[in-house]
C-alpha cells in the first residue's frame, strides 16, 4: 500500500470485501512503529502500546500508547510513556493487575545490543491516564520481555522472559538466547526465576492457562523453522523441553490467547526460512552510536560447526490467524489477515523499503470480538477486529 500516512488516523472502518472485519491504523507521528501489544480493560476500553521513533535500537525509540474508548470508533492520538535519551526502549506490555492497577513493562537497551537490556515498569491507578515514576523491575543485563503477564490460579503473577546472551568480546546476534519465567507471590515486589530446560533459540515465550489447569507456552524460533511448544503442570515451576509444532516460524514474534470458549487463537507469519535465499547478519541495520563499544563481528557460521545460528531476514508475511480446539495439539483452522512479500532485509523506516507484517498481538473481549494489532511495514500499527466464525468461514 502506498501513502500509509493517509491511513494513520485511528478511524475504524468496515472492510468492504470481508464481512465481519473492522480495521484501523493506530495514530503515530514517528517514522517507525513496531512491537505492539493490545490489552482490553474491564471498563471496555482497548489500549495499545508499542515502540516508536526513528529506528529500532536508536536511543530516540520510546514507548507510546493509544486508547480506543468503549463504544467509540477512533483510536486516540499516541501518548509517549517513556523517554530515556541513552537507551532504546522497546517491547512494551500492559498488565491489568487484580488489584485494579495497570502496569506498563518494557525493555531499555543500549543501541543495538540486546544483551544490555533491562526491564522497567510504571504503574497507573486510573486505567492509564496518568502514570507513576519509572522504576527498574529486572536489572540483569540481557533480560528481554515481549508477552503478557499471566495471573496463575493460585494468585501468583508470571512474567515470561528471555535472556539475550553473548560470548565475551562478541556482539549479540541471537544464537544463544534462552527462556525462563519470573514468578511473584507478593504482587510484584519480589520474583523467583524458573528456567525452561534446553530452550536455546526459543524466545518470546507466550504462556496461557488452559482449561485443565496446566500452562501452555509457545515460542518464536531463532532458527526460523517452526513455532515451539512446552507445557507446565505445576504453575510454571518446571517446564517440558520445547518441541516444534506444525506451524512454521520465521524468527519473528507470535502471540496466542485463550478464547472465551476455551479454544486457542494464534497470530503468526505462516512461513519459515526453508526456501529463503537472502539472509541478514543480525536483527539490526548499522546503527551509529558514539557510546557504543566497538566489538568484533559475529563468527561466521562455519566456525560454529556444532551449534545452530540465528536466521535473520526470512520474509515476515503473510500475517495469519489460526484456531486450535484441542489445547494447541492441532491448528486446523487457518486464515490470512494480510498478504504480501514480507520483505524485511532492512528495518530502516526512513527509506520505507520494509514491507513486513509482524509482531502481532491478540486478545478476545467478553463480546466475542477478537482484537489483533501488528506492525505494518514498520511504518504503522494496524488494528484488525474479527470473530472466530470469521476465521473458520
- For the stretch 154-175, pLDDT in tens is 999 999 999 999 988 889 999 9
At 296 the pLDDT is 40
Which grid coordinates belong to 271? 512461513
At 288 the pLDDT is 54
At 184 the pLDDT is 98
At 179 the pLDDT is 98
At 374 the pLDDT is 98
- Which is higher by pLDDT, 349 or 140? 140
At 3 the pLDDT is 79
At 147 the pLDDT is 98
Average pLDDT on 224-251 reads: 98
Cα 210 to Cα 233: distance, rounded to the nearest angstrom: 10
Listed in sequence order, the DSSP H helices in the chain are 388-392
CA distances from 61 to 55, 92, 103, 109 (A): 7, 12, 20, 10
At 307 the pLDDT is 81
Q: Given its phi and psi angles, is residue 193 left (phi above 0), alpha (psi -120 to 50 degrees) or beta?
A: beta
At 281 the pLDDT is 86
Average pLDDT on 355-363 reads: 98
Residues 6+ apart with CB under 8 A from 320: 267, 268, 269, 270, 334, 335, 336, 337
Half-sphere exposure of 320 (CA within 13 A, CB side): 22
Length of the chain: 393
At 5 the pLDDT is 87
Q: Report long-range pairs for 325-328 (Cβ below 8 Å, ≥24 apart).
A: 325/263, 327/210, 327/211, 327/212, 327/216, 327/264, 328/210, 328/216, 328/218, 328/229, 328/245, 328/256, 328/264
> In which band, very low, low, confident or very high, does the pLDDT at 292 lie, cut at 50, 70 and 90?
very low
Nearest to 102 by CA among 185, 33, 206, 188: 188
> In which band, very low, low, confident or very high, does the pLDDT at 305 lie, cut at 50, 70 and 90?
low
CA distances from 119 to 138, 161, 256, 327 (A): 5, 10, 22, 31
Among 181-190, 211-220, 276-285, 330-339, the range scoring the smallest mean pLDDT is: 276-285
> Would you list the DSSP string of 233-297?
SSTTSS-PPPEEEEEE--SS--EEEE-TTS-EEEEEES--STT----BSSSPPP---TTSPP-PP
Highest mean pLDDT among 227-236, 273-282, 290-299, 303-312: 227-236
Residue 289 in this model has a pLDDT that exceeds 70 = no
Residue 144 in this model has a pLDDT that exceeds 70 = yes
Residue 294 in this model has a pLDDT that exceeds 50 = no
Residue 2 in this model has a pLDDT that exceeds 70 = no
At 167 the pLDDT is 84
Among 14-18, 264-268, 296-300, 351-355, the range scoring the smallest mean pLDDT is: 296-300
Helix or strand or coil: residue 301? helix
Cα 222 to Cα 174: distance, rounded to the nearest angstrom: 7
At 17 the pLDDT is 87
Half-sphere exposure of 206 (CA within 13 A, CB side): 28
55-109 per-position pLDDT tens digit = 999 999 999 999 999 999 999 999 999 999 999 999 999 999 999 999 999 999 9
At 285 the pLDDT is 83
> In which band, very low, low, confident or very high, does the pLDDT at 298 lie, cut at 50, 70 and 90?
very low
Among 10-19, 32-41, 43-52, the range scoring the smallest mean pLDDT is: 10-19
At 121 the pLDDT is 98
Neighbours of 86 (CB within 10 A): 10
Residue 287 in this model has a pLDDT that exceeds 80 = no
Q: Is the peptide bond before 318 cis (omega within 30 degrees of 0)?
A: yes
Residue 302 in this model has a pLDDT that exceeds 70 = no
Cα 344 to Cα 327: distance, rounded to the nearest angstrom: 32
Nearest to 380 by CA among 61, 143, 25: 25
**219 near 204, Cβ under 8 Å?**
yes
Amino acid at each position: 500500500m502506498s501513502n500509509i500516512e493517509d491511513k494513520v488516523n485511528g478511524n475504524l472502518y468496515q472492510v468492504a470485501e470481508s464481512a465481519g472485519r473492522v480495521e484501523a491504523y493506530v495514530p503515530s507521528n514517528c517514522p517507525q512503529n513496531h512491537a505492539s501489544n493490545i490489552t482490553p480493560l474491564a471498563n471496555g476500553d482497548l489500549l495499545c502500546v508499542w515502540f516508536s521513533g526513528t529506528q529500532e535500537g536508536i536511543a530516540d525509540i520510546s514507548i507510546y500508547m493509544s486508547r480506543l474508548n468503549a463504544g467509540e470508533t477512533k483510536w486516540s492520538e499516541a501518548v509517549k510513556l517513556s523517554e530515556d535519551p541513552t537507551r532504546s526502549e522497546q517491547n512494551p506490555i500492559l498488565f491489568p493487575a487484580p488489584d485494579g492497577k495497570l502496569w506498563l513493562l518494557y525493555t531499555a537497551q543500549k543501541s543495538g545490543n540486546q544483551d544490555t537490556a533491562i526491564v522497567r515498569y510504571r504503574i497507573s491507578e486510573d486505567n492509564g491516564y496518568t502514570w507513576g515514576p519509572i522504576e527498574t523491575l529486572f536489572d540483569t543485563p540481557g533480560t528481554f520481555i515481549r508477552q503478557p503477564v499471566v495471573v496463575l490460579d493460585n494468585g501468583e503473577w508470571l512474567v515470561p522472559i528471555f535472556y539475550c546472551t553473548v560470548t565475551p568480546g562478541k556482539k549479540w546476534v541471537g544464537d544463544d538466547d534462552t527462556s525462563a519465567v519470573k514468578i511473584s507471590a507478593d504482587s510484584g515486589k519480589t520474583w523467583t526465576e524458573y528456567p525452561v530446560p534446553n530452550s536455546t533459540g526459543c524466545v518470546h515465550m507466550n504462556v496461557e492457562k488452559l482449561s485443565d489447569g496446566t500452562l501452555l507456552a509457545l515460542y518464536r524460533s531463532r532458527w526460523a523453522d517452526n513455532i515451539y511448544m512446552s507445557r507446565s503442570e505445576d504453575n510454571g515451576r518446571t517446564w517440558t523441553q520445547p518441541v516444534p509444532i506444525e506451524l512454521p516460524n520465521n524468527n519473528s514474534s507470535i502471540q496466542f490467547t485463550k478464547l472465551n470458549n476455551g479454544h486457542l487463537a494464534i497470530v503468526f507469519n505462516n512461513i519459515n526460512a526453508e526456501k529463503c535465499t537472502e539472509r541478514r547478519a543480525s536483527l539490526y541495520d548499522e546503527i551509529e552510536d558514539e557510546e557504543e563499544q566497538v566489538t568484533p563481528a559475529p563468527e561466521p557460521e562455519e566456525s560454529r560447526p556444532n551449534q545452530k545460528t540465528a536466521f535473520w531476514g526470512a520474509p515476515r508475511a503473510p500475517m495469519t490467524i489460526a484456531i486450535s480446539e484441542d489445547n494447541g495439539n492441532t491448528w486446523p483452522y487457518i486464515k490470512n489477515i494480510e498478504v504480501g512479500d514480507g520483505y524485511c532485509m532492512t528495518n530502516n523506516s526512513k527509506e520505507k523499503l520494509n514491507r513486513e507484517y509482524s509482531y502481532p498481538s491478540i486478545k478476545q473481549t467478553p463480546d466475542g470480538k477478537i482484537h489483533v494489532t501488528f506492525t505494518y511495514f514498520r511504518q504503522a500499527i494496524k488494528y484488525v477486529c474479527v470473530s472466530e466464525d470469521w476465521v473458520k468461514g
